[in-house]
Amino acid sequence: MSADLIALSARDAAEQIRHGRISADELFAAYRERAAADAAKGEDGLNAYTWVADVTPSAPAASDAAPLAGVPLAVKDLFCTEGVPSQSGSKILAGYRPPYNATVVDKLASAGTTLLGKTNQDEFAMGSSNENSAFGAVRNPWDASRVPGGSSGGSAAAVAAGLAPWALGTDTGGSIRQPAALCGIVGLKPTYGSVSRYGMIAFASSLDQAGPFARDVTDTALLYRHMVGRDGRDSTSLQHPDEIALPKGVDLKGIRLGVPEELIGEGVESGVREAFNQTLALAEQLGATVETTHLPHAPHALSAYYLIAPAEASSNLARFDGVRYGLRADADDLLSMYTRTRAEGFGPEVKRRIMLGTYALSSGYYDAYYGRAQKVRTKIAEDFRSAFDSFDFIVTPSAPTVAFKLGEKTADPLEMYLQDFCTIPMSLAGIPAISIPNGLSDGLPVGFQIAGPAFSENRLLDAAYVLEQALGFDGSKVRA
C-alpha cells in the first residue's frame, strides 16, 4: 500500500485525496516514514533532510481554494519556516528557527501542501555538489558514492529517491537545474521575479530564484502554478502575465531550437553530448527545427557570475554577526566577536566567496570587477534577446558531466565552478530554464536544458512535456 502511495505522482495524489480514495494523513505518513528513516541514518543514508516533521500537520480539506490539500512538500533549508529549523546549510544558523514563513512557503501552505521536512543544501546555496553543507554531504540516489549536484542537492535527492513527491529549491547559477540533471528529475528555474524571494535566505539577490523539483513536467508545472505571484514584500517580484497551465502537446511542430556553440564545446563529456545530440534528433522527429546559434558572451558568463554572486553574497552574509541570532563565538571585544563568530560559523567555500566578493567591491577594484561584470551581464542578456528573435528556445545539456564522485572536485574550486557552465548564462539574463531527464550515461542520469524568453514558462513546460513523453525516462528504480 505504502509503495503504491509513493508511486503516485503529486498530481494524481492530490486527485485521489480530492476524491477520497486515499487520505492525506496516510500519504504524509508514508513519505514521513521514508524521509525519517533516511534522516536517521545520517551521512550513511542520502542525508537529504536536515529536519523531518514528526507530527502529521493538519492540511486544509482539498477544495478549489486548496487544490493540493494533503500533498507533502519538502522545502530547501534556506526557506524560512516559522518555528522550524531554517539553517541554510550553515553552522552559523544551526538550530535557528525563524519567527516567520517565506512567502512561497505560505502560498504553498494555502494551496494545501504540508511541510514534510527541510532539505539539506550547500551552505548558503554555494556549491554544485552539496558537499559544502555543515550538516554533511548529500548522496546521489543513483550511486551513493556520487554527489547529487548542488546547491539544492537535498531536494533533488529526496524527490529522486521517493522521499518526497516534490520539493522546493533555489537556483542562483544552476542550483536547481544541475542537481535535477544529476538526480534524473525535473527542475525549473523560473523567470527572475516571478516567485517572491521574501523569506529565502539570500545568496545573491539579483540572481536567486525559487523553483520546483518534481518527478515529471506535469508536477513541476502544478507546483510552480502555486508559487508565482507578485509579493508586496519583495520589490523585485512581478506578476506572471499568464496563469501557469498544466503542460500539453504531442509534437514540436514549428518550434525552432537554437543550440549555442559556446555551451556545448569542450568540457561537456562525451556521454552527455551523445545524449544531448540524440534528443536533438528526437526533437526534429517531433517537428522542431534545430540550428546552431551563438551566444557570443556566454564564455564570459562564468567570470561575470563569480564576481556578481560573491559580491552580493559578501554583503548579504554580513548580517551573520553573532548579535541577533545564530552562532556567537566567545570574545571580550566586539571586533574579535565578529571575526571569530564568522570564522567558526562559515565553511571554507562561503569564506572563499565572501573574500572574493569583498575584494571585488573594495575600493579601487569596483570598476574593474563588479562594474565590468554588470556590463557583461548586459551583453549576455542582449545575446539571448537576439537569439530569441530567431529561436523559440535555446537548448543545452544541463550540466557538462554526470554525477561525479564525492570529493572528486573539492580540491579545485575552479573545476567545481565549471559545473554551472551551461546554466549560469540564463541566470545572468534572468530567463526561465528547465532541466528534464535525458536518459542515462553509464547508468547515471543526464539532463537536457531548455531556456526561453522571460515569462515563457507555459511554452517551456509544453515543450519539455512533449520531449519527456517521447523520451520515456523511467526513474522509478531509485524510488524503490
Partner 1 sequence: MIDRAQVLHVARLARLELTDDEVGTMSRELSAVLDHIEKIGELQLDDVPATSHVIDVVNALRPDEPVPSLPREQALANAPEVVDDGFGVPSPGAA
Partner 2 sequence: MSDGSGYEPVIGLEIHVQLKTNTKMFCGCELSFGDPPNVHTCPVCLGLPGALPVVNARAIHYALMVGMALGCELAPRSIFHRKNYFYPDLPKGYQISQYDIPICSGGRLGDVRIHRAHLEEDAAKLVHVGASGRIHGADASVVDYNRGGTPLVEIVTEPDVRSAAQAREWLTLLRETLRQLGVSDVNMEEGSLRCDANVSIRPVGSDVLGTKTELKNMNSFRYLERGVEAEIARQIALVQSGEEVVQETLHYDPVSGSISSLRSKEEAHDYRYFPEPDLVPVVLTETMIEGARAELPELPAARAERYESALGLSADSARLLAFRPELGAYFEAALAVDGESPQVLANWISGELVARIGDEDPAASKVTPAAIAQLVALVRGRAVTQGAAKTVLDRLVADGGEPQAIVDAEGLGAIGGGDELTEVVKRALESDPAAVEKLKGGNMKAIGPIVGFVMRETKGRADGGEVTRLVREQLGL
Nearer to partner 2, 89 or 149 (CB): 89
Among 8, 10, 17, 80, binds partner 2 (CB under 8 A): 80
Nearer to partner 1, 31 or 192 (CB): 192
| C-alpha closest to that of 71 among 119, 25, 118, 21 | 25
Nearer to partner 2, 31 or 320 (CB): 320
The crossing angle, in degrees rounded to 10, of helices 301-316 and 372-390 is: 130
* Cα–Cα distance, 414 to 81 (Å, whole number): 33
DSSP secondary structure string for all residues of 228-281: B---TT-TT----SSPPPPP--S--TTPEEEEEGGGSSTTS-HHHHHHHHHHHH
Positive or negative, the CA dihedral 317, 318, 323, 328 is positive
- Residue 248 among the catalytic residues: no
Q: Residues with Cβ < 8 Å from 260, sequence gap 6 or more?
A: 292, 293, 294, 295, 298, 387, 394, 396
Among partner 1, partner 2, none, residue 80 binds (CB under 5-8 Å by kind): partner 2
Q: For residue 79, state whether it binds partner 2 (rule: CB under 8 A).
A: yes
Among partner 2, partner 1, none, residue 224 binds (CB under 5-8 Å by kind): none
**Assigned C-alpha cell, 147:** 554527489
Q: Which residues pair with 291 in a beta bridge?
A: 258
Scanning 44-52, 68-76, 136-144, 311-319 for contacts with partner 2 by CB under 8 A, the matching segment is 311-319
Amino acid at 161: A
Q: For residue 266, state whether it binds partner 1 (rule: CB under 8 A).
A: no
| C-alpha closest to that of 193 among 373, 461, 427 | 427
- Residue 175 among the catalytic residues: yes
Length of the chain in terms of residues written: 480
3-state SS class at 463: helix
* Cα–Cα distance, 145 to 92 (Å, whole number): 28
Among 363, 389, 442, 477, binds partner 2 (CB under 8 A): 363
- Residue 58 among the catalytic residues: no
Rounded to the nearest whole angstrom, what is the least distance from the CB of residue 159 to partner 2 in the complex? 23
Scanning 25-33, 63-71, 179-187, 376-384 for contacts with partner 1 by CB under 8 A, the matching segment is 376-384
Separation in Å, CA 379 to CA 157, 163, 385, 423:
35, 41, 10, 16
* Residue tagged active-site, from 155, 175, 194, 398: 175
Among 7, 25, 57, 205, binds partner 2 (CB under 8 A): 205
Catalytic residue set: 76, 151, 175
Which residues make up the interface to partner 2 (CB under 8 A)?
Answer: 78-80, 86, 88, 93, 96, 98-100, 102, 197-202, 204-206, 232-236, 311-312, 314-315, 317-321, 323-325, 330, 332-334, 338, 358, 361-363, 366, 370
- What residue ranges bind partner 1 (CB under 8 A)? 96-97, 99, 192-193, 206, 232, 235-236, 238, 297, 300, 302-304, 306-307, 314, 318, 321-328, 331-340, 342-343, 346, 351-352, 354-356, 358-359, 362, 368-369, 371-379, 381, 413-414, 417, 428-430, 454
